[in-house]
Amino acid sequence: MSESIPAADSAPESRPDASKGLDKPSLETSHPRLLMFAVMMVSLIQVLDITIANVALPHMQASLGATTDNISWVLTSFIIAGVLVTPVVGWLSDRLGSRRLFLWAVVGFLVASMLCGAATSLTQMVIFRSLQGVCAAMIGPMSQTILFDTSKPSKQAAAMSLWGMVIMIGPITGPVLGGILTDTLSWRWVFYVNLPIGIPTLLLLIWLLPSRPVSERKLDRFGFLILAVGLVSLQLLLDRGNHKDWFSSWEIIIELIIALSAFWIFYVHTKMTRNPLFPNALLKNPNFLGAMGSMFMLGVANIAISSILPTMFQSVYGYTAIDTGMLMMPRGLGVMATMMVAGHLSQRMDVRYMVTGGYLLAALGLVMMSHWSLDMGKTPILIAGFIQGLGLGLIFMPMNVAAFATVNERDRPDGSSLLNLMRNLGGSFGISAIFTMLSRSQQSTHAGLSEHVTADALLGFDAAQFANSLGGYGTAFLQFLDAEVNRQALMISYLNNFYAMSILVGIIAFIPLLMKPIRIR
């Protein structure tokens, strides 16, 4: 029998005048829709910065005088700083007040964006990106909490749908927008673009943003320290594993040992301490734990895929940045289409079935992608992207609303930080796994294809002998031939990755059915 639960409960501890059954927000504001718009705009620039700088790295490398290995720290520093701070966002919100924390995070993010755009050395860039990552880690969870707090319970599903569109579309458009800005203006505009959006938004937030009450909550310092060590070690392992050939490097082995040890110590410590880093009610809530797992896989399916598709379209098919943006657009349209109806569907059917259906649609899109070919047109790309977007849109909003349906109001900042952390970790896992499989699959496939470039396989055409007969042009001919073999091998590698991910997502699709039945009213 389905368990029918409200979109969110009311906590007398957080709001003394709250009473159950009243369709009122936890926090009042004079213009809730205008505040929602401002929060979503801040969320947009925060999410964009997760992927927007990827395509600008070669230009940054030349401008900042960095090596190929060192320039990756522009991305790594942002991610590690965010992972480090995310676990204490809930505590900071209680101690400083949600309004003060959010406003300072937005100010810090905009200042860091300006400094990143003006950086003249790699050291400066890494420092400023770290600051940007710290502020972004606060913006993500707090924006979700603010929308829950300032929306009526009956409107929270709709608010999550609108916010979810921004969160899901951001990683899709980030690489494309970064490519366009880099090609038409400069790589510095990858960061400067945050300012014309963020500054007017900040003024709206100063005007309209209410605050949660401040509380004297104690910080579990040991728990935070040991969790931070584990998360940073894990992130370093994921970011540097492919460059270091994984477990053939002692650096990666040591990082794995540190991460596993830290997580185990954190688990034992949380069980024993009276003042854990995260409220016990969250970690004992089966629906919230199920939502955390779902957010992790959503990071794999959305952030990871969104990061590699622009590279594939430009390197394999030779499309421009603008063409790539058009090809990525149907994924965003699919997300928007299902996000618009997900709120209504969640009130009429079990949320678990919506999430399972979303994952199955995403898996179908990946299966279709595994049948792409080098000589096809744009239509298969557009159709597969749209179907995958439809699936992703059915996952995000229902799982977020279901996750907080049985969570007390005072625990929302901690819950939001955990969900954001799991989604970002899922993206890191997915990107690392995909690029590792791409690299290894391309090497083995290239070797297999090269074996067939012989006179017997090419119907008597001996490429080496023909190249020798061309004299000085022979070397260029062989290079062209090798480039084509590389392109074929890379294409096959992408197809293998899509097929493997379709199997994984298809299996994950049935895990939500293990949760308790949920219907949101």
Query: 211 versus 68: which is more confidently predicted?
Result: 211
Give the integer Cα–Cα distance in Å for 503 and 177: 30
Task: Collect all residues with Cβ–Cβ distance below 8 Å to 11 and sequence separation of at least 6.
Answer: 18, 26, 408, 409, 410
Residue-wise pLDDT tens digits, 396-453: 777 777 777 777 777 878 888 888 888 878 877 777 777 777 777 767 776 666 665 5
Strands 3-5 and 518-520: parallel
* DSSP codes, 279-319: -HHHHT-HHHHHHHHHHHHHHIIIIIHHHHHHHHHHHTS--
Rounded to 10°, the helix 32-51/98-118 angle is 40
pLDDT at site 4: 44
pLDDT at site 467: 53
Q: Where are the beta strands (DSSP E) in 53-124?
A: none
pLDDT band for position 3 (50/70/90)? very low
Would you identify the CATH topology of the domain 28-219? Growth Hormone; Chain: A; (1.20.1250)
Tokens of 22: 């009243």
Query: Fold match between 28-219 and 281-521?
Result: yes
What value does the mean pLDDT of the chain take?
79
Give the integer Cα–Cα distance in Å for 194 and 196: 6
What percent of the chain is modeled with pLDDT above 70? 86
Dmax (CA) for the chain in angstroms is 90
Give the integer Cα–Cα distance in Å for 480 and 72: 30
Tokens of 502: 């379709």
The neighbouring-strand residues paired with 98 are none
Residue-wise pLDDT tens digits, 49-61: 877 777 777 778 7
pLDDT band for position 480 (50/70/90)? low
Question: Does position 115 have pLDDT exceeding 90, yes or no?
Answer: yes
Give the integer Cα–Cα distance in Å for 254 and 234: 10
Question: Does position 96 have pLDDT exceeding 80, yes or no?
Answer: yes
What is the 3 state secondary structure string of 388-442? HHHHHHHHHHHHHHHHHHCCCHHHHHHHHHHHHHHHHHHHHHHHHHHHHHHHHHH
Residue-wise pLDDT tens digits, 268-287: 888 888 888 888 778 788 77
pLDDT at site 93: 86
Residue whose entry in the numeric block shows the structure tokens 């898996």: 363
pLDDT band for position 62 (50/70/90)? confident
281-521 has which CATH code?
1.20.1250.20
Give the integer Cα–Cα distance in Å for 22 and 15: 13
pLDDT at site 17: 39
Give the integer Cα–Cα distance in Å for 215 and 150: 19
pLDDT at site 260: 92
DSSP single-letter state for residue 121: S
pLDDT at site 446: 63
Give the integer Cα–Cα distance in Å for 346 and 352: 9
Exposed e or buried b for every residue in 166-183, given b needs 16+ CB within 10 A? bbbbbbbbbbbbbbbbbe
Give the integer Cα–Cα distance in Å for 371 and 496: 10
Give the integer Cα–Cα distance in Å for 191 and 116: 6
Residue-wise pLDDT tens digits, 124-177: 888 999 999 899 989 988 888 888 888 887 777 777 777 877 777 777 777 778
Question: Does position 494 have pLDDT exceeding 80, yes or no?
Answer: yes
Least confident of 10-24, 81-95, 452-466: 10-24
Within 10 A of 186 (CB to CB), how many other CB atoms are there?
14
The whole-number average pLDDT for the span 217-238 is 85
What is the 3 state secondary structure string of 266-282? HHHHHHHCCCCCCCHHH
In the chain, domain spans = 28-219, 220-276, 281-521
CB-neighbour burial class of residue 268 (10 A; exposed 0-12, middle 13-18, buried 19+): exposed
Question: Does position 232 have pLDDT exceeding 90, yes or no?
Answer: no
Give the integer Cα–Cα distance in Å for 165 and 488: 35
Phi then psi for residue 4, to 5 deg, are -95, 120
Question: Does position 464 have pLDDT exceeding 60, yes or no?
Answer: no
